[in-house]
Amino acid sequence: MAFSRSLRGRRPLIAAAAATVALAGGAATAVAVGTGAHDDRSAALATKIDPSVPKNVILLVGDGMGESEVSIARYYQGVDKPLNMDRLPFRGVATTYDLTPLDDVAAKGKENFDPDSASTATAWSTGHKTMINRLGQGNSANKATPGENYETTIEAAKKLGKWTGNVTTAEVTDATPAGPTAHMSQRSCQGPADTRKTCPTEATGAGPNAHGSIAEQQVALRPDITFGAGRARYLQTLTADGTKTVVDQAKEQGFRYLTTKSDMDAVTSLGDAPGSQPLLGLFHDKEVDDNAANMVTEWQGPTAALAGADGNAATCVKTHRQDTAPQEPALSAMAKKSIDLLDAASTAHGNKGFFLQIEGASIDKRDHAANPCEQIGETLEFDKAIGLALDYQQSHPDTLVIVTADHSHSSQIVSADDSELPTGYYNTITTPAGDKLRISYGTNGGNTGTHVPPTGAPSQQHTGAAVPVMAVGPQAANVTGTIDQTDLFPLLTFQKVPSTLPHGTVTVPGPTTTVAGPTKTVTTPATVAPLTAGLAAPGSVGSASARRGFSLSLLASKGAKARVTVRSGSTTVGRGAVSLRGGKAAGLRVKATKLRAGRAATLRVTAVVTAGHERVTRTARVRVTKR
């Protein structure tokens, strides 16, 4: 079946049905990688289904982060140390194809199966497919002819009165961060000078429908937070013969201009209303180092090479950014600052919520460069940002968190046996656990037959595989199965109508029961709804916190009592009880007082919920760390 290319005629996204009460929020402890392998996960997933409309949406995009890139980072970190993204309970895959330019025969673009970041960012940011290198616009006959402008996620959020943010480690005018903030026929038209050269009909002053460069459009849109690189684009002059830059224009319009981590750390609040005092944080210029216009990578390591006698052994330097560019904030620091500021602003001014997009950009950049150390470092830093978003969601269950990628990329895990060397570029890395991890890049270049490693691999190509999509929070179950990237748009723009989750029923035999008598008949109901319940628990807690007490949330479909038991192995370490009102969530704090201090463990939480003769049992797992 073909996927729809626009919102018109879109097939509905169907939430997973479950005969249980949906409980918003909470980490997905029972579905983490490598835990609970022998347990039935159905009940745990059912408790995570929430069909309501979210107040906040946090979208995290790993650029070029296909399943292979995720696996590489996971295996490097250690198979016994799940990634933060493994905490998300709902998972699916999204198709990423884009379109070729319009043709004379079909009056539509044909499918192109190896997309770029611009067309894919447009897909989730607008709900429409478009051609390669295009942003926020529909397809057209050729790349130089602009298409129809579509409403974007940030534009939609601003119409709802929500606060907005856009964070990246690339230039803020690059394809992925430009997706929700601009409309441009070609992604390279980032600054005014770029646009005058490449997209002249869209440059400022070219006509009534010319909106200017991506940088100028971002200033006009006024997201509350814009953090990333790309200072050089904003320092381009607005006119060819002028001296006024986009930065000057932004300052004149009330933007607060930040250039260092210290500048960012010093900000304590946003304005009194969305868009009133926007932050423009441009933390990197292309002259800083040889890493082009993107922010400095967290790690550093050698580029992959062709098969050689040395085995291409690689050592990763994990302090590269903090040693060479301490003035640049890490992605996780930008993410935390953005979440804190947007949450505080929304709470203080109207409580309408926020939309935030966060991109880990250089997973893709270093995959292009065939550099596994730097690619892994960027993936793990992106995963730190995911962890921060999930921690926020756990305490703010009205927040939808979605993690995905724009497209897949080249890197593959291959055998580390030197008798089976890859034909293309590769590096072999020793993991912290002492295992060999060999990464091969083979979508551009290849083995010349000389067996002499060149000075560097050619830029690797994207691949067309579907990308992972993961979610937690209201509407999160809609990402399960195989969807298209355009199907994310209604979730990201607060458009999904709440669905009604079905309850299980018990049928009394026979439609009616008649009691004998000359004048009186008693009829019993044909159906009754059974007791259903849900339990949510934190994904992990520190040892000391577990002993002091950690919070659970319980919910039942009718008035009931819940008794909770906490076990570590076969030992009961804590108990608790709470009364439940039908349809109302209740909190319970349980203390694992008998848990040994300073010891890691996995706690099994069992809640037995009873109402009259009915009884329902729900379980969850909580990982205890030594901290």
Lookup: tokens for 207: 């006509």
pLDDT given at position 1: 35
* Neighbouring-strand partners of residue 163: 354
Query: Which pLDDT score is estimated for 626?
Result: 80
Q: So what's the pLDDT on residue 530?
A: 83
DSSP, res 139: -
- Whether 56 and 400 have beta carbons less than 8 Å apart is answered as yes
pLDDT of residue 3: 36
Give Cβ neighbours of residue 593 (< 8 Å, ≥ 6 apart). Answer: 547, 573, 574
% of the chain beyond a pLDDT of 70? 84
Tell me 189's DSSP state: -
pLDDT the model gives residue 333: 98
Judge whether 523 and 512 are in contact, CB under 8 Å.
yes
| Residues with Cβ within 8 Å of residue 176, at least 6 apart in sequence | 61, 63, 117, 121, 168, 170, 357, 359, 361, 406
**Which is more confidently placed, 514 or 337?**
337
- Four-way CATH pick for 528-625: 2.30.42.10, 2.60.40.2550, 3.20.20.140, 3.40.190.170: 2.60.40.2550
**pLDDT of amino acid 160:** 97
Q: What's the mean pLDDT in 490-501?
A: 85
Banded model confidence at residue 23, pLDDT cuts 50, 70, 90: very low
Sequence letter at residue 338: S
Per the CB < 8 A criterion, the answer to whether 394 and 107 are in contact is: no
The domain segmentation of the chain, as residue ranges, is 49-492, 528-625
Q: pLDDT digit string (tens) for 153-165? A: 999 999 999 999 9
Q: What is the structure's pLDDT at 186?
A: 97
Q: Quote the CA–CA distance of 390 and 336 in Å, as a whole number.
A: 11
Average pLDDT over residues 539-562: 88
Class (C level, CATH) for 49-492? alpha beta
What whole-number percentage of the chain has pLDDT above 90?
A: 63
Span of 34-38, 49-53, 96-100 with lowest mean pLDDT? 34-38
What are the tokens at 481? 């199965």
CB-based burial label for 571 (10 Å; 0-12, 13-18, 19+) = exposed
Higher pLDDT, 525 or 442: 442
Determine the pLDDT at residue 454: 52
pLDDT at site 108: 64
Q: What is the pLDDT of residue 102?
A: 84
Query: Does pTM top 0.85 for this prediction?
Result: no
Q: Would you tell me how many other CB atoms lie within 10 Å of the CB of residue 450? A: 10
Q: Dihedral angle at the C-alpha atoms of 383, 428, 319, 382, nearest 10 degrees?
A: -10
pLDDT in tens, 108-117: 678 999 999 9
| Fold match between domain 49-492 and domain 528-625 | no
The mean predicted confidence, pLDDT, of the chain is 86
Q: State how far the alpha carbon of 615 is from the alpha carbons of 49, 120, 149, 531, in Å.
A: 21, 48, 55, 7
Query: What pLDDT digit, counting tens, does each position of 424-455 carry?
Result: 889 999 999 999 999 999 999 865 554 444 56
Q: Could you give the residue ranges of the DSSP H alpha helices within 307-425?
A: 320-324, 331-348, 362-368, 372-395
**Res 105: pLDDT:** 44
CB atoms inside a 10 Å sphere around CB 222? 21
pLDDT-derived band at 312 (thresholds 50, 70, 90) equals low
- Is the per-residue pLDDT at 471 higher than 60? yes
- For residue 273, what pLDDT band results from cuts at 50, 70 and 90? very high
pLDDT level of residue 104 (50, 70, 90 thresholds): very low
Categorize the per-residue pLDDT at 14 as very low, low, confident or very high, splitting at 50, 70 and 90. very low
Interval 131-138 mean pLDDT: 96
| pLDDT tens digits along 559-570 | 999 999 998 887
Quick one: pLDDT at residue 103?
65
Task: Enumerate the active-site residues.
Answer: 117
Q: Which amino acid is at 63?
A: D
